[in-house]
Amino acid sequence: MATATAPTPASIGLTRLKTSLSSSLWIPAYSLWRRELVRFYRQKARVVGVIASPLLFWLVLGSGFSKTFQSHGAASAAASGSTHYLSYFFPGAIIMIVLFTAIFSMMSLIQDRNEGFLLSVLASPVSRSAIVLGKVLGGATLAAIQGWVFLVFCPLAGVHTTPLGMLYAMLAIALTSFSLTALGFVIAWPMDSTQAFHAIINLVLIPLWLGSGALFPVSGASGWLRFLMLLNPLTYGVDMLRNGLFPAELTTFSPEFNLIVTVVFCAVVFVGSWAVVNRRSNKPAA
Amino acid sequence: MATTQQIGRSSQPAQQSTPAGQFAPHAPIEIDHLSHDYGTRLALDGLTFDVRSAEIFGLLGPNGSGKTTLFRILSTLMVPTGGHARLAGFDVSTEANRVRLQTGIVFQATSLDVKLTVGENLMHQGHLYGLSGSHLKSRSKEVLDRVGLTDRKNDMVETLSGGQKRRVELAKGLIHSPSVLLLDEPTTGLDPGARIDLWNYLRILRDEQGVTVLVTTHLMEEAEHCDRLAILSEGKLVALGSPAELKAEIGGDIVQFETASADAATTLGARIADRFGVVPVVVDNAVRVEREQGHRFLTEVVEAFPGEIVSVSVSKPSLEDVFIQHTGHRFWLDQGEEKQ
């Protein structure tokens, strides 16, 4: 009767695998993820800054540009149907929030390294994937929440969409949050100073946003700029968000194409961040 | 505390549950021809020694002696370029995760998240080591109790004093009931009272829980607290033994004759060697001789070479004398910039 109740070797193996996965991957990843959120909400200035600055940016820049764009007749062509530049700029402003939050949360990676926190994580038996998952999902969650919160300004921006469109927009925000956070992770991982990271922000991340169709449409650009914008993976994230918020309008690319490119971008940068972490060498680790 | 120990280990596989190597065929730490080459510089040069079960073992060396490199290798943060190091029988290069489960680490720099509370830091550390739920809660309570910080559990780490932070670090290192505890310069930045507390905690861990403790230090007075010591210089092991044994090796007294210049010291050293058949060590402008009945020898030397000696001293050997005896130079002169 003991044999009747005894688990089979296969089920033991499976249980052991589950146990080892939960103890070396999911629990640590959850713990690192939770830490990102707790830290963020304990630093009130970060919360305020990340909501207020894009709002200001959107209102000031959007209002300023709207005259210019209208007077040249570009806005109507660009935003094709949405009468106001503020509407055109709205998805771009949301992606900007996402970008800022992603950047700031990955800056904490450099801080973790300098303060020694990362050292104790690296010396623990967690799988390296848990570090990537926890940290990137933590940053991505924050970025996505910030982006979603900004959706309350939809009425102000003249957004007319369906519930499904809104869900699609939220998905676009979530995926873009993930890819930008993972990109921040890849950049921040080998760095030991936030100053160097700032340089990269100005050199790579801000231009990435500027040339993503956030401020002006791909169709409005010409020559080499248009080519660069087409190569920019963020272009498709911004366009995807536009698909969701303004389903009636014709966007640069089809919703399906935008979704595929955005998902592939997520996968590529995630694998990238996984790869940079999984190097164990005979050089000092941190 | 024996029961605590069992509770702490109960979730781990059976073969790892032997308390601190009691029946284990391996020493808790085995270092076997360990070398590390940073490419341009050989930081460790063929180290071989064992750390015994339930002892407080000190790694003493000046900056640049290789102790930080050795600590990095033992804490599995770096793979050595030659030789082997085993903790609790597991190789640090090939079985890093098994080593990590057996090892608690207290780094020199604080590894706490100051924006989290003491309790949150411990929970997080427990999660990294695969602990969770009520087991983790009880472990957290135990280690906090052990370091006397139960009442600060819900306080933000940034509100703690330096000594209290160090105690949280220690609690963090102990959360998964490791059989080996590694500490890198653990008393850096602590006031004398906090230093004494820390050493008391380490002794309690050794005596009550059979934990093997390895401490790196560049302070002679700290090294005196250790059961045994390895003295490192330029990546090599220069001496190994208890502080008392090491000092006893020197024998009698240390007699030092200071001269006007380094050249004068060299000359005087040679002449003393000729006349008295001893082996003096010349360090800068001083000649050092280890000798029974130092005061008598001192008188003889001063009478033999009256004009050449500026000042003299006789002392019982210290660990610094041990270092000088083995390396031929002063402890603090060896301040090569240590990489990282």
Domain map (residue ranges) of chain A: 25-277
* Whether A122 and B77 lie within 8 Å, measured CB to CB: yes
> Which residue among A38, A123, A280 sits closest to B75, beta carbon to beta carbon?
A123
User: For residue B245, what are the CA distances in angstroms to B85, B212, B249?
Assistant: 25, 20, 6
Mean pLDDT along residues A15-44 = 82
**B20 DSSP 8-state letter:** G
What pLDDT does residue A286 have? 47
Non-local CB neighbours of B25 within 8 Å, separated by 6+ positions: B89
Distance CA A275, CA A129 (A): 9
What pLDDT does residue A16 have? 63
B-chain CB neighbours of A23 within 8 Å are: 130, 132
Enumerate residue ranges in chain B where pLDDT < 70. 1-25, 332-340
**Which has more pLDDT, B70 or A153?**
B70
| Assessment of whether the complete model's pTM goes beyond 0.90 | no
Distance CA B64, CA B77 (A): 18
Does residue A71 belong to the interface with chain B, where contact is any CB pair within 8 Å? no
Residue A83 banded pLDDT, cuts 50, 70, 90: low
Residue A128 banded pLDDT, cuts 50, 70, 90: confident
Does residue B36 belong to the interface with chain A, where contact is any CB pair within 8 Å? yes
Query: What is the set of domains in chain B, with CATH numbers?
Result: 2-242 (3.40.50.300), 252-316 (3.30.70)
Non-local CB neighbours of A195 within 8 Å, separated by 6+ positions: none
Under 8 Å between Cβ of B43 and B31:
no
What pLDDT does residue B48 have? 94
Q: How far is CA B314 from the centre of its chain?
A: 28
Mean pLDDT along residues A184-188 = 93
Mean pLDDT along residues A255-283 = 87
Within A156-202, residue ranges assigned H as helices are 163-188, 194-200
What pLDDT does residue A19 have? 64
- Please report the number of interchain residue pairs, chain A to chain B, with beta-carbon separation below 8 angstroms: 90
Q: Judging by beta carbons within 10 Å of its beta carbon (0-12, 13-18, 19+), is residue A44 exposed, middle or buried?
A: exposed
